[in-house]
Amino acid sequence: MADQSGVVLHGRVIRPGRAEGIALVSPEPIGFLGGVDPDTGTVIEPGHPLHGQSIAGRVLVFPFGKGSTVGSYTILRLRHSGHAPVAIINRESEAIVAVGAIIADIPMIDQIDIERIRTGDRVRVEDGVVTVWPAGGG
CATH number for the domain harbouring residue 123: 3.50.30.10
Could you list the residue range(s) of the whole structural domain that residue 57 is in? Answer: 2-137
Measured from the Cβ of residue 18, the count of other Cβ atoms closer than 10 Å reads 12
Rounded CA separation 117/91 (Å) = 11
DSSP for 68-130, please give it: -TTHHHHHHHHHHHT---SEEEESS--HHHHHHHHHHT--EEES--GGG--TT-EEEEETTEE
* pLDDT tens-digit map of 7-38: 999 999 999 999 999 999 999 999 999 999 99
Average pLDDT over residues 49-66: 98
Active site residues: 68
Strand partners, 6: 3
* pLDDT tens-digit map of 68-113: 999 999 999 999 999 999 999 999 999 999 999 999 999 999 999 9
Number of separate domains in the chain: 1
Task: Find, among 42, 39, 10, 3, the residue nearest to 130 by Cα.
Answer: 10
